[in-house]
Amino acid sequence: MDQMHKPTQVQLISSCFTSIEFSSTKLVKEQNKQSIIMGDDAGTYHVFKVPSNLFKKQEREDEIMKQFWERETRRYMFRESRIKELKDAKAKEELKAAEKELMKGQEEGKTDEEILKEENDLEEAYNNILITIKETELNLITHDEAEKIRKDIKEAKKGD
DSSP 8-state symbol, 148: H
Mean pLDDT of 89-102: 82
Q: What is the pLDDT of residue 1?
A: 55
Query: CB neighbours (10 Å) of residue 6?
Result: 10
Residue 133 is classified by DSSP as: I
Q: Is the pLDDT of residue 79 over 70?
A: yes
Give the model confidence (pLDDT) of 28-67 as tens digits: 455 556 777 777 777 777 777 877 777 778 888 889 999 9
CA dihedral angle for residue 149, residue 146, residue 122, residue 152, rounded to 10 degrees: -20
> Which of 14-23, 49-58, 87-96 is predicted least confidently?
14-23
As a whole-number percent, the residues of the chain with pLDDT over 70 amount to: 74
Q: Which of 13, 45, 14, 48 is nearest to 28 (CA)?
A: 48
Phi–psi pair at 14, nearest 5 degrees: -155, -175
- Contact between 42 and 30 under an 8 Å Cβ cutoff? The reply is no
The pLDDT value given to residue 63: 92
- Tell me the average pLDDT across 92-113: 74
Q: What angle do CA 73, 144, 97 make, to 5 degrees?
A: 85
